[in-house]
Amino acid sequence: MTLAFTLCSINYLAQARTLGDSLKRTNPHIRFVIGLVDRLDTANVPADKLPEFELLELHRIGIDGLDEMCKHYNITELNTAVKPYFFRYFFGKVPQVKNVIYFDPDIIVYQPLAELEALLEKNDFVLTPHLATPIEDQLTPNELHHLNTGVYNLGFIALHKSPEALDFVKWWEEKLFDECKIDLCNGLFVDQHWVNFAPVFWNNVHVEKHPGWNAAYWNLHERTFTNEDKGHFVNGQPVVFFHYSGYDPAKPSVISKYQNRFTFEKRPDLNPLFDYYRDELLRNHNAYYRQFPCYYIKSEPLYKYQRIRALLKKPFEKWLARL
């Protein structure tokens, strides 16, 4: 049995529902679970706004020290840090589960995942790289960025239940308990950078370079899209899943807030994929969900007199920099 899951707080439920709808259309045999990094009881989401998909709240999977974990993470960090804990829960608690696939909530699956399931028969890990071919310019993001944040994109990872994969999950959990941060100078970029170790420490890792897998803003330079009667294609092959990272339906002219290489004017081939996504998000009440704050994230106090503070700090910081 194959299980797919995503992780989000209530504010991203429109995305998670869109992903779930797409899986139901293309892969009805795959059980889909939304791992919710939030609490429904305190948020009071009305019944008609609850997704029809299985919801598994974070506090139900049994993480030792969850409170401590929440204390040092922001919403992005926490949503990524709990990934291996959910993997372990599914491998341990769901009978008959053979494969577990993680998708970021902002992904749409357009095709059956038969090839992925076949790959998982022979491999314990399936990953997708950010890039399959070099980028020659130095716009954002370029090759250097992925060297700092991880060469594989962790919006997608699929594991086959095996001793190797379980060993990896355990190690990943330990890392992410307190080192799922963005601290590039010290080699940290949430859950993603750690996975550079997967092919080094473990075997049976498959890296899939099919242009239709995890297509996203970081690899548009090597992928051209067409929309045909039979669906969306990329470089002549079917789009299997597209990752709409950094896209906001409230700003429909921006491909992603994290990139500056392409615009829709330069890349009209992207319009059909994004028009569809925007409609789906709006249909799934994106604006409604966005207003929910995450239960686990305490809002930080806003400190006053920032300029005076900066002025006072200056001589000490200068001294520090010289040391």
Partner 1 sequence: MAGKTLIFTVCTAEHYPFAQALADSLPKELTFKVGMVGEVAAGELDVVQFRELPFEVIPEMQQRYDKPALVAAAKPFFASYFLQQNGIENVIYFDPTTFTFGDFDDILQKSTTYDIVLTPRLTRKFGKSTYGDEKMFLNTGMYDNGFFAVRKSQNTFRFLEWWQQRLTDRAYLDLCNGMNHDQLWLNYVPILFENSCIYKNIGWNVGLQNLHERVLTFKDNKWVVNLSEPLVFFNFKECLEEGTEVKKMIKDSGATKLLSRYKERLKQYTAVIPPVFSLRKSLHSPDSAFRKGLKDTLRTIVDTITYFPIYHKISK
C-beta of residue 81 within 8 angstroms of C-beta of residue 193 = no
**What DSSP assignment string belongs to 97-115?**
--EEEEE-TTEEE-S--HH
Q: How far is the CB of 180 from partner 1 (least distance, A)?
A: 11
Residues that bind partner 1 (CB under 8 A): 129, 131-134, 143-148, 150-151, 171, 174-175, 179, 184-188, 193-194, 196-197, 199-201, 207, 209, 293, 299-305, 309, 312-313, 316-317, 319-320, 323
Question: Nearest approach, Cβ of 133 to partner 1 (angstroms)?
Answer: 7
Q: Please say which residue, 98 or 221, places its beta carbon nearer to partner 1.
A: 221
- Give least dist CB 12 to partner 1, A: 17
**11 contact partners, CB below 8 Å, separation of at least 6:** 289, 290, 291, 292, 293, 294
Our CB check for partner 1 shows the closer of 43 and 61 to be 43
Q: Least separation, in Å, of the C-beta of 184 and partner 1? A: 6
Nearer to partner 1, 95 or 301 (CB): 301
Q: Please state the closest distance from residue 1 (CB atom) to partner 1, in A.
A: 29
Provide the 8-state DSSP code for 174.
Answer: H
In angstroms, what is the C-alpha Rg of the chain? 20
Instruction: Report yes or no: 216 and 153 within 8 Å, Cβ to Cβ.
Output: yes
Cis peptide before 163 (omega within 30 of 0): no
The smaller minimum CB distance to partner 1, of residues 27 and 123, is found at 123
User: Rounded CA gap, 6 and 108, in Å?
Assistant: 12
Closer residue to partner 1 in complex, CB, 171/264 = 171
